[in-house]
């Protein structure tokens, strides 16, 4: 680095002097560099063809979704057939105990989340509508989108198990929420032994 001879302003306050030396070269070039960088970056990324990180992320996500379109959930009939698979309801019971009982109680009687054993429902009472609400959740109301946390098989198993909670007797049932289920609509527990 070149040595600079100290220059001084021509004043003095109580014996304190101030130097008038030039800024170090490296500092000046760094500063010029940031100005040149901004002169290129701002027009290119904010007004030109460049993509800001959020836009680049969005277009990557769009492309990913195009390559992996969401697989639709099974229909009511497919779920009824799936239910016949041995062990699926037991699998659902164990997922329910670990993931759902903190809000819906172990016996489905409801705590923070609604009672799943009574004849009232907010989001529907068919196998398909239960699978949908479990998969998509109701994030605004505190019900997670379990499709993002559990495997598809676990979502379907726990949905089917939940379907069969209706009609069970809960120890501490929460007051009904949502609409009454029309009388005469098939009772989940009536068709299971």
Task: Give the binding site for ligand HEC (CB under 6 A).
Answer: 96, 99-100, 102-104, 112-114, 116, 121-123, 130, 133-134, 138, 141-143, 146, 158, 162, 178
Q: Least distance from C-beta 65 to ligand HEC, angstroms?
A: 24
CA–CA distance, 167 with 149 (Å, rounded to integer): 28
Q: Least distance from C-beta 174 to ligand HEC, angstroms?
A: 10
- Taking CA atoms, 169 is separated from 108, 174, 182, in Å, by 9, 12, 19
SS (H, E, C) the chain: CCCCCCCECCCCECCECCECCCCCHHHHHHHHHHHHHHHHHHHHHHHCCCCCHHHHHHHHHHHHHHHCCCCCCCCHHHHHHHCCCCCHHHHHHHHHHHHHHHHHCCCCCCCCCCCCCCCEECCCCCHHHHHHHHHHCEHHHCECCHHHCCCHHHHHHHHHHHHCCCCCCCCCCCCCCCEECCCCCCCHHHHCC
Q: Which is nearer to ligand HEC, 8 or 185 (CB)?
A: 185
Q: Which is nearer to ligand HEC, 50 or 145 (CB)?
A: 145
Q: Which is nearer to ligand HEC, 83 or 121 (CB)?
A: 121
Q: Least distance from C-beta 133 to ligand HEC, angstroms?
A: 5
Q: Which is nearer to ligand HEC, 79 or 116 (CB)?
A: 116
Q: Which is nearer to ligand HEC, 99 or 168 (CB)?
A: 99
Q: Which is nearer to ligand HEC, 50 or 124 (CB)?
A: 124
Q: Least distance from C-beta 139 to ligand HEC, angstroms?
A: 9
Q: Least distance from C-beta 136 to ligand HEC, angstroms?
A: 11
Q: Least distance from C-beta 69 to ligand HEC, angstroms?
A: 24
């Amino acid at each position: 680095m070149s040595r600079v001879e100290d220059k001084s302003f021509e004043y003095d306050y109580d014996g304190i002097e101030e130097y008038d030396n030039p800024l170090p070269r490296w500092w000046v070039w760094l500063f010029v560099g940031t100005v040149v960088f901004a002169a290129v970056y701002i027009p290119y990324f904010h007004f030109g063809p460049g993509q800001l990180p959020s836009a680049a992320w969005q277009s990557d996500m769009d492309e990913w979704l195009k390559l992996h379109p969401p697989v639709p959930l099974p229909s009511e009939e497919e779920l009824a057939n799936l239910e016949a698979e041995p062990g699926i309801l037991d699998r659902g019971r164990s997922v329910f105990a670990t993931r759902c009982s903190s809000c819906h109680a172990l016996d489905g009687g409801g705590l923070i989340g609604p009672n799943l054993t009574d004849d009232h429902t907010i989001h529907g009472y068919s196998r398909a509508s239960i699978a949908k609400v479990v998969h998509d959740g109701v994030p605004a109301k505190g019900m997670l989108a379990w499709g993002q946390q559990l495997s598809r098989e676990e979502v379907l198993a726990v949905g089917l198990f939940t379907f069969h909670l209706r009609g069970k007797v809960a120890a501490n049932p929460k007051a009904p929420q949502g609409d009454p289920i029309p009388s005469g609509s098939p009772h989940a527990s009536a068709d299971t032994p």
